Structure formats: structure tokens, C-alpha cells
Structure 1
Amino acid sequence: MYPVLIWGEHSQYYIGSTTNGGGDDALAVVEGRIVRISRQAANQRRCVMRQSIDRHKVRSIVWQYYLFSGCFTTALSFIFSTYSVFLIAKGFDLLQMNLVNCFFVVGVFCMEIPTGAYADVLGRRNSFIAACFVLSAAMGIYYMADSFWMCVLAELIGAAGSAFCSGSLEAWAVDSVKHTGMRGQLHSIFRREQYVVRIGSIIGSLLGGYIAQGDLALPWLYSSVGLFVLGIVALCIMREEYFERKQFTFSLSVIRTVIVESIRYGVRRKSVLYVVIFGSLITMCVQPLNMQWQLRLVQDFSFNTMGLSWGYVGISIFVMLGSFLSRKFMERVGNEKRALILSQAITTAGVLVAACMVGAWIVLPAFLVHEIGRGMIVPLKRAYMNKRIPSKQRATILSFDSMVNNAGAFIGLVVGGWLAKYYSISTAWIVSGVALAITIPVFLKLKNGDG
């Protein structure tokens, strides 16, 4: 028994099976006549046809992934270059500024797994669309905020939106591409997506810095409108052909099962847990720099909002450079684990130099160099994890990773804010650099379960 291909001049299709007495040929229709051709030739022709269709679908999916990632980041990035300055202008000190952001991190931590399970049960598309609308509401509240607790409310709503987004768009892209039959090349997709995201963040941050010259609150309004429009677009054009809606009950039993299975997988699979913990520690160490770079440029080097925007452009360019170099670095090192860990030696060196020096001519270049390492870790970590997690729980396991990552961010925010308030921003950065310098050799020695 073997498949029979009916292959015409303008059509080809599979119709069933037949017996050929042990031979190794098949029946086909060529110019209206039934002829025998080798089974190998028939399969090759069928594969060529399928590959042609798959390439078209893959191209469409990947471009949609780039479109949504880029536009989502552009809408968010109106606030990227002035976020800390905006909070300080509200009258917050360095610790209060970080504590406001802590509410966001705690909110994401609490909602990460449930919203990831929502994506697994009800669809990645629905999860991403929900993220756009919820984040739009959060940005609108921030635009109107006039107190610490109103900012906290905006952060908590934003945390829900961020949690809906976390892992959902990436999982949609990976599973949609794999649904076409394509295997491999995930690293190149994520690497190029980093370029798209950074270009979007450059455009958004420059516009945000320009808008903020008149009013530091206006970038939040622009971000709110942009996210709302993106949600409408995603609702109209985003598709999820591979997904079959699962039955959902008000008892949340399905989501509970997905959560338990995904956490169990993430914890028991040593190779996954290894990179999750490492990523969390890196996030903890760099969080003070995330929150304080704007203030250091304003206080030490007299930057205005447009200057901060161009500073963010520099950050984006160097992160893109790191993303570009990640593949070459991986090829040179020849081992996923070592490439992932050693890439952060660049981050460590940049942090320590920027922390210890005082002149703009050395602090700014060192700070930008540390962004190269941070740009390298994103595609390296994504490719590493997506090879090791099952499709059905992909969104939830990626959310589990993000949840643990946010736990590290929380610690970094509290410690970094306390050090900056009672000592100095430079002291907070020095502590971060030393912690990074300890983390790298420790994880090089640890076993990750599969080399």
C-alpha cells in the first residue's frame, strides 16, 4: 500500500492508496493520461509544491510578526526617554520612583502565569489584542495622574496589559510558522525582530522627546492612542489558523492544569530552569541602570528631553549591534550555554566603567557598550528556550520565564533605589557591576542539563 498522486498540468492532489504488487512506482496524470512514475519523483514534486506554499505562508506570518512587534514597541516607546524624569517631576524621590515601578513588577509577577494560560487556552491572538487595549487604558490614566497612588493604579493596569502580551506574540509567531511545516531558523527570526523593535523604539522615543518639551505628560496620551489603534488593526487582520479553541469553564480548571503542567516542566527541566534563573539575575543587576540613566544624564551632564531621546537612540543602536553580533558570537563560541553566559561579560565591563568614571567622554561610551551585551542575550536566550519547550505550553512557559525575570527586577528596583537615595546613583551601578562579575563565572561552572 502506498499513496497515489493524481498530477495534472494545472492541478495536483492526493486521492488515497492502492496496491502495486510490491513495486516502487506510483500513478499520475500527465497531460490527461494516467502513467506510472517513480514514487520518489512523485514525492519530490509534491514536496516542491508544499515548500512553495509554505514559503509564502511563512513570509506572511513573519512580516505580520515584525509589523505587530514594531508598532507595539513604537506606541510604547513615546515614554521611554522621559519616564524617570516624568516621575521626578511629580515630586518623587529616587526610592519612590523605583517603588512606583515595583508595583508594575509585582503586578506582572502575579498575573504572568494566569494571562499566559489565557493565551494557551483562548489563543495568543486574543491575548495580544487584550494587551493593546489594557495598556492603552493604563497610558491614559498615567496622562491624567496627579498623585503617587494614581500612578500606582496606572502601573497595576499596565502590568495586566504587559502580562497579556508577555510570550503571546512570540508564541503566536513560533507556532504559526511551525504550523506551515518549517523547522529551524528561529534565531534569525528573533534577531531580525530585534532590529524592527529597536527601529520602532527609536522613532517613538524621538517623537516622545520632542512632544515632552512642551508637556512631560503628552507622550503618555500619544502612547495610549497608538496602542488602541494597534488593537483595532490586530483585531481585523491577525489570524491563528493552527489554534483550536479549548473548552473554558468558570472554575478555571483548564487554566489551573496548564499552569501546573507548565511550572512543573519549567522547574524539572534543568536546561530551561538554568537560563530562566540566569536571565532573572541579569535583569536584577541591570535594573538600576534602566531606571537611573536618564537622571544621571540630566544631573551630571545637563541633558534636556531631546538630549535624552538621542541618548535612547544611541542605546537602541547599540542593542541592535549586540543583536547582530549574537549570531557571529554564537558561531565563534560554538556552544549555546557558553555563548549566553559569556555575552554578559560585555555588559559587566560597560557597567563597571560607567559606574566608576565621571567624565561624559568615558561614561557615555561605556554605558553604550554595556547595551551591546544586553542586545546579545535576547536572541540567544529566546532561541535557547524555544528549542526546549513544547508547543502546547509555549506561551505559559515563556510567561513563567517572564514572571521569574520580574522577581529579579523587583529586587533590583528596591536595592537600586535604596542605594541611589542614601548613597548615589554611581554606587548603585557599582554594586550591579560587581554582582554581574560574580554571576558569570558561577553559571559557567554550573551544569545546565544538556551542555
Structure 2
Amino acid sequence: MKIQAHRLFYIITFIQFFMMEITGTTLILFIMNKGFSLQYANNLLIVLFISILLLEIPTGIIADRFGRKLSIVLGFICYLIYAVVFMLTDEFLLLIFAQIFGALATCLQSGALESWVVDHSDESIENIFATSSSVMYIAGFFCGLLGAVLASIYFVLPWMISIICCLSLIVLSIIYIKENHHSKFIKRGEVVEEKSVKKIIGSSINIILSNKQLWVIFIVGICISFSNSAPNSFQQPRFVGLSEHGLWIFGIIKTVYSLFMSLGGYLIKKLSKYYDDTTILIFSLLMLGVWLTIAGWFNDFYPVLVSFLIYEIGRGMYPAARKIYINKRIASDYRATILSLDSAITQIGMCIGLLVTGIISKNYTDLTSSQFPIQVSWMICGIAALLPIALLIKKEPQRQ
């Protein structure tokens, strides 16, 4: 049975996001349950993102040289190793080992899956990425509450579900992802000659150096990755601590804000009919920066919750807006390599953000600790999201 490329992309996106988010819902709390502080949890995330930084370019070249399918399947296999090790061990060094495989999984999939669908689908780029964002957040709606409920019973249960999802993705990818022989490329139906690794690297560098808009989006990515660091890692202790309820409350919150993120993806579809991609990207940055700063300022459960939910609309808008912006400006032949470079560069912001906010929150050891370090971290991250807007205001004509 043949499945259209964009439909298969949506199916894989749904299962993949479900696989990651069912554990991500309680990841920080899971690490703390293993006996580590919030700073140690941040350090593990730093290992992950530094590994991504180092591995993105080589893995992007694998996808461009040897085929997207191989890269995607290897990525899911690496995630399987990561999940099994992370689930079973309480040793910090083994958790670091698991994070390296988690980074490999991210790198092998990041540019490859996007490149494959763009090259093999007749759907518009705007529709592909706006729809996939909505699909992700629908998956988040289901796995948010489920992950919290399962973790409240036994912390390992979400990881078991994640492993099952990963196995299904490996099988699905092997059977249904189709591409021509790995020595050639497909460019919207056109077969392109084989590219050597050296030529891929050289041409990718030339494209980047000649396109200032790519440098702008790289800088935007660094700032937003920095901005995402504290809200990603601190939202679990923030809401569970403020609510004074059990772990289940975060599952409900995660489920609700998945709907808000889905709304963000939907807004991108609507806005793309009336505004250019640069303007839409600016809108998403404003939503992120303003509302995260407000969420950091408040320290009561409901004001924080409301402002954070609005912030999540921006979180739903940004990935689709960013993907549309960058995919319109790079050639198909080198798409995976450049997308991997983009992902690698943006990890710099995440690593710096985790380091800075980890130092700020080093005294936060349990849910009864003062929320002040988290408040400061969120406000700093909110301001970081607003900084690159000035770079986007002066835009250049689009390059295909």
C-alpha cells in the first residue's frame, strides 16, 4: 500500500511526538526522582544539546549523501537505545551515555525527515509544516495527561510506551518511506546527479555565505533556543510546585497547552494567506517573548497558567514559521545538510541558556523550594526571544 509522502510525514510526526512527549511530560521530575537536583537535570540536558551541536553536521551529510530513509531509520534505532538505557539506569554516567544516543537520534532525523517530505510531496511547504505542527500538538494533547497519569503510578510506564512507539516507527519507516537509490536525489520529481560528500559540504558553505537571510535565521534560532531553555526544563516543577497538587495536575496542564500549541500551528496557516513569512516569524517571536516574561513575573498559579498558555500559542507558531522561512531559502540538494547546520548552531543558545538558568536555579532542590530562581530564568528567556526581531524587520527579497 502506497501512502502519499505528506500523509506519511504526518503519521510519523504524530507517533514521533507522542513517543517523545509521553516521557517529556515528566522528564525533569523523573530525573529528580532518580535522586538528582534540578541543576543536575539541566546538566544532562546540556550534554544532550552539546552532543547535538557536534553531531548535526555529520549526520546531515549522511542524509544528503546516502539517503533520507537510512538516516531516519538509524535515528529511531538510536532513540530506542536512549530510551532503554535512560529508563533502566540511575547512574549519572550511564544517563550521559543515553543522552548522547538521544542526540544522535535527534540529529539523524532532524534534517532528513523534513528534507524527504519536501522533496517527495506536491503539497506546499506552508501547508506541510503548518499541518505537521498541528498534528504534533494533537499528539501532545493525548500524551500529556497519559504520561502524567502513568508516571504517577510508576515512573517507568511512560518510557515503556515510548519504546513501543519507537519500534512501530522503525517498522513504519522501513516499509513505507520510499526514495530512489541513495546515490541520487529527488527534487520535486526531477532526478539529480550524485553528489560527493566534499561537494555537498562545499556547496552548502557557499549557499550559507551568499545568503544573509540564513544567517539571520541562525541568530534567531540561537536566541529562541536560549529562550526555550528555562520554560522547557522548569515548567514541571513550576506548575506542580505552585499548584500544591500531585503530579497529575501537570498532565492536565500539558494536555491543555497542547491545544494552545495546536492553535498556534493553525494560526500560521491562516496568517500565511495575508502576510509574508518574515512578518509571521516576527509575530511568533512577539508571542514568545512578551508572554513568557509575563509568566515569569507572576508567582500565583492561575496568572502564571493563563500567561503561559498564551505563550504556548507562540510556541505552536514558531516552529512552523521558522521551517517555512528557512525551507524557502535553501536548495533541495543540500537541504538536509543546511537544516542540520541550522539545528547545530541553534543548540549553542540552548546550551548557554541551560548553563545560565542552571546556575540561577542551583538551590532549587525540591518542589517546596522558592520559585524565585525560576521566575528570574523565565523573564531572562522572555527578553531573549524579543532580541532578534530587529534583525527580521530589515528583510531582503526571498531566495529560493
When normalised by structure 1's length, the TM-score is: 0.80
Give how far 1:145 is off.
Answer: 1.2
Give how far 1:76 is off.
Answer: 1.9
Matches of residues 301-450 of structure 1 in structure 2 within 5 Å? 301-332=243-274, 334-421=275-362, 424-440=373-389, 442-448=390-396, 450=398
Say if 2:167 is the partner of 1:222: no
2:98 maps to 154
Say if 2:113 is the partner of 1:169: yes
Say if 2:14 is the partner of 1:70: yes
Q: Which amino acid aligns with 2:211?
A: R
- Contact 1:343-1:377 at 8 Å conserved across structures: yes
Give how far 1:346 is off.
Answer: 1.5
Match of 1:296 among 218, 224, 238: 238
1:209 maps to 148
Q: Deviations over 1:124-143 (max 9, x none)?
A: 11111111111011100001
- Contact 1:321-1:372 at 8 Å conserved across structures: yes
SS of equivalent to 1:347: helix
Give how far 1:229 is off.
Answer: 2.5
Match of 2:57 among 113, 121, 124: 113
* Cα separation, 2, equivalents of 1:280 and 1:99: 19
Q: Deviations over 1:313-338 (max 9, x none)?
A: 12211111111112333444x33223
* Cα separation, 1, equivalents of 2:293 and 2:163: 37
1:24 maps to none
Matches of residues 18-97 of structure 1 in structure 2 within 5 Å? 60-97=4-41
Match of 2:213 among 238, 251, 271: 271
Unaligned runs of 5+ in 1: 1-55, 248-252
Deviates more, 1:137-146 or 1:310-319: 310-319
* Cα separation, 2, equivalents of 1:199 and 1:238: 23
Say if 2:48 is the partner of 1:99: no
Give how far 1:256 is off.
Answer: 4.3
Deviates more, 1:317-326 or 1:415-424: 415-424
Give how far 1:450 is off.
Answer: 4.5
**Rg (Cα) greater in structure:** 1
1:135 maps to 79
Q: Which has the higher contact order (CA 8 A, sep 6+)?
A: 2
SS of equivalent to 1:224: helix
- Contact 2:133-2:265 at 8 Å conserved across structures: yes
2:188 maps to none
- Contact 1:116-1:396 at 8 Å conserved across structures: yes
* Cα separation, 2, equivalents of 1:321 and 1:449: 29
- Contact 1:336-1:380 at 8 Å conserved across structures: yes
Deviates more, 1:359-368 or 1:340-349: 340-349
* Cα separation, 2, equivalents of 1:360 and 1:195: 27
From the two aligned structures, give the one with the greater strand fraction: 1
- Contact 1:322-1:374 at 8 Å conserved across structures: yes
- Contact 2:222-2:349 at 8 Å conserved across structures: yes
Deviates more, 1:300-309 or 1:101-110: 300-309
Q: Deviations over 1:171-228 (max 9, x none)?
A: 1111012xxxx4x621012111112111223223332222212221232232123202
- Contact 1:76-1:227 at 8 Å conserved across structures: no
Identity of aligned residues (%): 27
Give how far 1:444 is off.
Answer: 4.0
SS of equivalent to 1:166: helix
SS of equivalent to 2:355: helix
Give how far 1:446 is off.
Answer: 4.4
* Cα separation, 1, equivalents of 2:111 and 2:36: 32
When normalised by structure 2's length, the TM-score is: 0.89
Deviates more, 1:353-362 or 1:257-266: 257-266
Q: Which amino acid aligns with 1:121?
A: R
Pairwise CA RMSD:
2.2
Equivalent pairs counted in the alignment come to: 382
